[in-house]
Structure 1
Amino acid sequence: MRKGFAALIVAAAVHGGPTAAQDSVPIEQAETASASDAPITDPTLIGPTTEWQVCNETSYVVRTSSAFLRSGRMIAKGWDELLPGRCITLITPQTGPRFLFAESLDLHQGGVREWKGTTPLCVADEADFESDATEDCRLTNKTSRDHFAVRPGEPVTKLVEPGDYGSERSVIAAQQRLLRDAGYDITRIDGMAGRKTSRLLRRFRDDASLDSGVSGEPLMRALMTAAANRQAGIGLEVCNQSSATLWAAVATREDTQWRSRGWWQATAGECTRPLDIPLTDTEAHLFAIQEAPEGPDLRLRTSATTPSQFCIAEARFDALGNDMCLEQGYTVASFRPIPTDMPGARVRLSDSDFATPAPAGLRR
């Protein structure tokens, strides 16, 4: 269970596509990397090897997990951070299957974007993990991600968006996206150099006490830090102070229509962040299920006389509307309203917040 939504293999269906260009006045562009990082020899590879480049031509900072045959076994490794306009080089067998998974970093607004396929492989949250394709993810404290297949011998695999920015425009698009993530008034993410983008970059340098000549990766890193700091103060954080694992779902009003989504996991003592957008005007609601060691799982209590009800499902879901749930194959659940007078909120849930047994079988 995790946030995010499906994307195509190399043409991801990601929100924030291209729009008309802004004023065509050049801005100082961060340099793009025509040369990728130096490859590292891997003694576990058997037989002839070749270089495989993975390039990020999106407006998102992403991390990737790659899998191919090592010592005769399919091994997944990650995470490799990949800035927009940059490539990494992996040394792989010349033949044999390859798989790749990519996701945007959570410093971006709007949830994690994924570039994925249909082959589940185990991954871990730590920056340097390794997993065998035969592993049971649950037994190794890992989670599953659906990797996509890459044609054997393919020299370059590009991660793209519908905007098809290319290497250079993806850097400008990333600057625009990070400016917006950091709270600046960017309305278009189009990868086109314009007056507004240039003006806001100058303002950002001033606000961050950066030298006026800072560009390239140092500028990108400063923008990433600013975006991450802003994200920490907005959205909804759910902290599990109960004695068992819980699964959270949220409902928000978007363009006059309700949308409910789930699930986000939080083990005892941990927090999860279902919403990473400002809560103001979202009319956000929360629902949660607590795993029970015996018997049916428990549901989050609601204090309202007539609680708001929204659609949920056993598996990960993203439902539009809050009526006709049963007709669409969903289950109905009563959600608890979240204060939305501030951009961010933290909800702490304990055992006393859960009571009513869930319907048989409803768990995730």
Structure 2
Amino acid sequence: MAAPARSSMREALASLAAALVVAAALAAPAAAETRLCNRTSVVTEAAIGVAVEATAATRGWFRLDPGQCRAILQTAEAPGRLFLHTRPVGEAPGASLGQPNQRQLCIGEGDFLVPAAQSCRQAGHVMAPFAEVRPTVAEGIAILFLSEEADYDLPQARRAGIQRLLTRLGYDSGPIDGLEGPKTDGAMRAFVTDLNLPADAAALPDIFDRLLAALRAGEGPGFAWCNDTAYRIMAALGTEDGGRMVTRGWFRIEAGACLKPPLEGAPPRVFSFAEAVDGDGRPVLRQGRPLTFGGETAGCIRASEFEITGTDCAAHGGLPAQFLAVPFDGRRRASLRFREPR
């Protein structure tokens, strides 16, 4: 009896994997397909999972800009239950779209296919939370929506996504509401001028690529970290709130890259602490001591992701650290470059 069961399992895995391979190869809309549409203001990467009983396969990554739809299956009737895992692009550490964690499945990086995703067997693959999703079917097309509380339609989501990234870059685009307005237009004109882009850049298909590239490069007004070392940098941000220090971390800056952390409002002072880590996340040592970048202002850090108000670090399970006060110029523009000591 065991052999037919194993054969059935192999057939199920082959069927699931084939369905997902076809999905990744789609180049044009089909007569019947399953589409994923992004009605949020966040550039998002998605991984899809298909499960039949205890067997599952996963495929990723599908990038969706705000307001964009993509085909993820070449059928409106999936061969099993559908699951979805998403991660935002260009957002703060720990940001998510708030999906429930209903099943753990295996994912990889880049263009991946995991045919037996109930567990991970390959280096670089990790288990991740997936939420079960049920598409709406109309005229042979099944549609899944990524949504947020604002409940944008697709054109509004595109405008809200542009507003979000302009704000992250330090431009005053007004509220992130998906509506047209003079502040959003003025912020886009300033961005286009600063980067010498075409006047119609906002209408071009690559506008989110340009905005994300500018964010990673530290362009625009505001504060950016830039990593000139050969190591990954883990950075913590400090701001003043009612005279008290509030610290948050960790923000990852890869070697040779820049990162603009989100700054809510216009804090009067900004502070920074950072440390270099190796490929395994261990501190880089120089003369037996961790390679860190800080200053003379007391703040708190913690080994894992954190947000701490005040400087009583022990009360929050944290450790004291010395933060650097970051000076701004008249446009409230500043960049802090991490360099290895000579």
- Smaller-chain TM-score range? 0.5 to 0.7
> What is aligned with 1:75?
57
Question: Is the 1:250–1:274 Cα contact (8 Å) retained in structure 2?
Answer: no
Match of 2:184 in 1: 197
**Partner Cα separation in structure 1 for residue 228 and residue 193 of structure 2:** 36
Match of 1:180 in 2: 167
Q: Does 1:101 align with 2:85?
A: yes
Residue 170 of structure 1 aligns with which residue? 157
Q: Which has the higher contact order (CA 8 A, sep 6+)?
A: 1
Q: Is the 8 A contact 2:16 2:56 kept in 1?
A: no
Distance 1:340 1:64, change over 3 A: farther
Q: Once the 2 structures are TM-superposed, how far is the Cα of residue 105 of structure 1 from its aligned partner?
A: 2.2
Is structure 2 residue 236 aligned with structure 1 residue 250? yes
Task: Say whether the 8 Å CA contact 1:101–1:114 is kept in structure 2.
Answer: no
Aligned to 2:9: none
C-alpha distance 272-189 of structure 1, shift in aligned 2 (>3 A): same
The answer (yes or no) to whether the contact 2:156–2:178 under 8 Å persists in 1 is: yes
What is the letter of the counterpart of residue 236 of structure 2? V
**2 CA distance for matches of 1:204 and 1:97?**
44
* Structure 2 equivalent of residue 347 of structure 1: 338
User: What pairs up with 1:219-234 in 2 under 5 angstroms?
Assistant: 220-222=205-207, 224-233=209-218
Match of 2:224 in 1: 235
Structure-1 residue corresponding to 2:315: 327
Residues 105-184 of structure 1 mapped to structure 2, 5 A cutoff: 105-106=89-90, 110=92, 113-115=95-97, 116-118=99-101, 119-126=103-110, 128-131=111-114, 132-136=116-120, 140-151=123-134, 155-184=142-171
Normalized per residue, the structure richer in helix is 2
Q: Secondary structure at 1:283's aligned position in 2? A: strand
Q: How many residues align?
A: 289
1:193/1:187 Cα in 2 relative to 1: closer, same or farther (>3 Å)?
A: closer
Report SS of the residue matched to 2:206: helix
Task: Tell whether 2:247 aligns with 1:259.
Answer: yes
State the TM-score, normalized to the length of structure 2: 0.65
SS in 1 for 2:159: helix
Distance 2:185 2:293 in 1: 48
Contact kept in structure 2, 1:100 and 1:149, CA below 8 Å:
yes
Give the share of equivalent positions with the same residue, in percent: 20
| Corresponding residue SS for 2:183 | helix
Relative to structure 1, the CA distance from residue 182 to residue 142 in structure 2 (aligned partners, 3 Å threshold; closer, same or farther) is: same
Q: Any unmatched runs of 5+ in structure 1?
A: 1-40, 353-364
SS of match in other structure, 2:66: coil
Q: After superposition, where does 1:46-61 map in structure 2 within 5 Å?
A: 51-61=33-43
**Aligned counterparts of 1:260 and 1:239: Cα–Cα separation in 2:** 22
Q: Counterpart of 2:300 in structure 1: which amino acid?
A: F
CA distance in structure 1 between the aligned counterparts of 2:256 and 2:105, rounded to whole angstroms: 24
Is the aligned partner of 1:85 residue 2:67?
yes
What TM-score do you get using the length of structure 1 for normalisation? 0.62
Report Cα offsets for 1:61-110 as digits up to 9, x if no partner: 2221111149x84222211121222222222663533221222322x6x5
Over the aligned positions, Cα root-mean-square deviation in angstroms equals 4.3
Instruction: Give me the whole-angstrom Cα distance separating, in 2, the residues matched to 1:140 and 1:302.
Output: 32
